[in-house]
Amino acid sequence: MAQPADTIRCLLMPVGEVQVLLPGAAVAEITAWQAPEPVPGTPPWLLGRVDWRGTGVPVTDLEALMQGRDPLAPGPRARLAVLHSLAEDDLLPFHALLLRGIPHMVHVFPGLVTPEDRGEGLAHDVVAQTVSVHGERAFVPDLDVLERSLREALGLGAAGK
């Protein structure tokens, strides 16, 4: 079956009890879990840094950040989703999300995704929209807010500086 011309390839990624929906172009790679090296003085949702292709990449437990709680152990199905940074500088070229399972690709087009209420109990404004896609509830993160939070936690300052 042919896809509509305005179809976007996205990944539906399990970050815990919730799913995150991101365009495939935002994801550099899904890789095996590796335990991050902690970064002293950072919030609990920032799990630390991993070495990915010679670059130190900060790892976020997005579910812990969204819900304002301490992170849970990764589990046996854990993966890392390495994301391209939106910033155009070398201080934070990539960052990663802890996945608690294997993501799957979905083709998103108008009419397939239904906006929902943002959701109750979210402790952080990192969620841009709550949607239903293929009958599954998913959060669309605000990557600008996530990257700004990472920069603050790591003491990197604003993008482009």
Reported as a single tens digit per residue, the pLDDT across 75-116 is 899 999 999 999 877 789 999 999 999 999 998 877 666 666
- What pLDDT is attached to residue 87? 82
For the domain made up of 8-154, the CATH class stated in words is mainly beta
List of the chain residues with pLDDT < 50 = 161
CA distance 134 to 62: 22
3-state helix, strand, coil in the chain (%, to 5): 15, 40, 45
* Nearest one of 49, 45, 47 to 57, comparing CA atoms: 49
Task: Give the pLDDT confidence score for residue 113 in this predicted structure.
Answer: 67
**Residues of 37-71 as b/e, b for ≥16 C-beta within 10 angstroms?**
eebeebeebbbebbebeeeebbbbbbbbbbbeeeb
- Ranges of each domain in the chain: 8-154
Supply the pLDDT for residue 77.
93
Strands 113-116 and 46-52: unpaired
Which pLDDT value is given to residue 161?
A: 45
Predicted local confidence at residue 112, as pLDDT: 64
Would you state the pLDDT for residue 115?
Answer: 66
